[in-house]
Amino acid sequence: MKAALFYGGPDIRVEQLDTPKPGPGEVLVRVRAAGICGSDLHGYRGARPAQLDQSLPRERRQNGHELAGEIAAVGAGVAGLVVGQRVGIEPEHLISCGACLECRRGETHLCPTRGLRHGERHSSHDFSEYDVCLASQINQLPDNVSYDAAPILDCYACAVHAARRAPVPPYATAVVIGTGAIGMNGGQVARATGAQRVVMVATRPGPLAVAREAGALDDGVAASEGDPVQAVLDLTGGNGAEVVYETVGGDAPTLQQAIRMARTGGTVCVLGMFTAPPEVDVMLAYRKELSIVWSNSYSRWNGRSEYDVALELLASGRVDARPLLTHHYPLDRIGDAVAAAADKRSSGAIKVLVHA
């Protein structure tokens, strides 16, 4: 099979590997569409040493975890799944032990051994023609959910988890800082789950037009056109928002902005992964008695998979992924696909898909 192998930085090569075979409890999936996540760009941008990739065996240089496809083969002991079924896949790095305190209370994403099987680290490989997945990670797709839309379910599930961690009260305003896939999905899910008004904050106007087409916002704020904090306060009568979702992370000043945008007694929910300790006005958060919560990936909501909740939102039409699927590339052009995802300001990309 063809697979993209990551050798460090922009050195990404499409090479031939043996097609894997599913073992007991596993399923072989013919990958039809794969999304590029921000975490896939760490090595490309130099956040992970190139020598780390160079030292890996070829099979371990694969990447990616947002995928959809059809079942090509099933391993021993797999029930309820058959060859030809259209499926979306929850990433292998979210598998959990099922026995620890975190797993027993349903917070499987916080499992201390998350992503380990038999003591070894496992991850999905979606930038390839085939991938072997645990049957427990397989979700059958309804006919009205396309292969292209299904990879972004991983992002929608993160937004569903954030909505559980920081629900928007009825008739309230939510602010979403950031217009990447997580931010866009966050705006859509906030509107679908009860927010009366969603304000999205972007660095520039372009992504706000996509967000409006996708039904992710009621009002948009472009930081390039003025102070985004003041703009949010002006839109909320000087009060601020009941809930502010921060989805940027990195070294951006967005956590501090979120604290200033939140109303007294409000909630700031942090989805972004910060690469440097963010500046935080602790006294302002104290005076406003803010709740600051963190949202890390996803797991279960009232005993139900948050991926499944996201799939229901997408299948029912309460959220629309189509405007967010901005760029499509064949596997042989994986380098161009990653470059577009890494420089969204130039490419205008929201979600980049790769097709094997």
Q: What is the CATH number of the domain that holds 245?
A: 3.40.50.720
Q: Is residue 300 in a domain?
A: no
Residue 315 lies in a domain: no
Please report the pLDDT score of residue 55 as a whole number: 62
Please report the pLDDT score of residue 54 as a whole number: 60
Work out how many domains the chain is built from and give that number.
Answer: 2
Is residue 117 pLDDT above 90, yes or no? no
Q: Is the pLDDT of residue 190 over 70?
A: yes
The whole-angstrom separation of Cα 220 and Cα 232 is 9
Q: Indicate the Cα dihedral angle 70, 75, 76, 82, nearest 10°.
A: 10
Confidence of residue 53 (pLDDT cuts 50, 70, 90): low
Question: What's the CATH code of the domain at 83?
Answer: 3.90.180.10
Name the residue among 219, 252, 255, 222 with its Cα closest to residue 235.
219
Residue 333: pLDDT band (50, 70, 90) is very high
* 6 and 145 both lie in a single domain: yes
Look at residue 56 and tell me whether its pLDDT is greater than 70: no
**Mean pLDDT of all residues in 39-55:** 65
Owning domain of residue 330:
2-149+321-355
% residues pLDDT > 70 (the chain): 96
Average pLDDT of every residue of the chain: 94
3-state SS class at 253:
coil
Residue 116: per-residue pLDDT = 84
Is pLDDT of 48 > 70? Answer: no
Choosing from 248, 277, 294, the residue where a domain stops is 294
High-pLDDT (> 90) share of the chain, % = 84
337 — pLDDT class (breaks 50, 70, 90): very high
Do residues 144 and 45 share a domain?
yes
pLDDT digits (tens, 9 = 90+) for 211-222: 999 999 999 999
pLDDT of residue 38: 83
What span, in angstroms and rounded, lies between the C-alpha atoms of 71 and 260? 48
Average pLDDT, integer, range 72-100: 96
14 falls within a domain: yes
- Region 208-212: what's the mean pLDDT? 97
| 313 lies in some domain | no
One-character DSSP codes across 277-322: PPP--HHHHHHTT-EEEE--S--EETTEEHHHHHHHHHHTTSS--G
Q: What distance in Å separates the CA atoms of residue 31 and residue 148, rounded to the nearest whole number? A: 11
Average pLDDT over residues 86-101: 94
With beta carbons less than 8 A apart as the criterion, state whether 180 and 350 touch. yes
| Main-chain dihedrals φ then ψ at residue 296, nearest 5 degrees | -115, 105
Instruction: Assess whether pLDDT exceeds 70 at residue 52.
Output: no
Are residues 84 and 209 located together in one domain of the fold? no
Separation CA 309–CA 312 (nearest Å): 5
- One DSSP character per residue, 35-71 reads EPPGGGGTTTTTSS-HHHHHTS-GGGG----EEEEEE
Return all residues near 99 (Cβ < 8 A) that are at least 6 apart: none
**β-pairing verdict for 241-246 and 173-177:** parallel
Domain identity same for 162 and 144: no
pLDDT value, residue 135: 96
128 and 160 together in one domain: no
Least confident of 112-121, 231-240, 243-252: 112-121
How would residue 8 be classed by pLDDT, with cut points 50, 70 and 90? confident
Residues 237 and 112 in one domain: no
| Residue 307 in domain | no
| Mean pLDDT of the region 253-280 | 96
Clarify whether residues 239 and 338 are in a common domain: no
- Residue 57: pLDDT above 70? no
* Residues 61 and 5 sit within 8 Å (Cβ to Cβ): yes
Inside any domain, residue 299: no
pLDDT at 47: 59
34 strand-pairing partners: 67, 354
Verify that 246 and 191 share a domain, yes or no.
Answer: yes
Q: Are residues 90 and 196 in the same domain?
A: no
228 and 115 in a common domain = no
- This prediction has a pTM of 0.93
165 with 140, same domain: the answer is no
Q: Name the least confident of 6-10, 158-162, 348-352.
A: 6-10
The model's confidence at residue 59, banded by pLDDT at 50, 70 and 90, is: low
**Is residue 284 one of the residues assigned to a domain?**
yes
Lowest-confidence segment of 115-129, 205-219, 236-250, 342-356 by average pLDDT:
115-129
In sequence order, what are the residues at sequence separation of 6 or more whose Cβ sits closer than 8 angstroms to the Cβ of residue 295? 158, 161, 162, 165, 166, 269, 270, 271
Within a domain: 161: yes
Whether 140 has a pLDDT exceeding 80, the answer reads yes
Together in a domain, 288 and 168 = yes
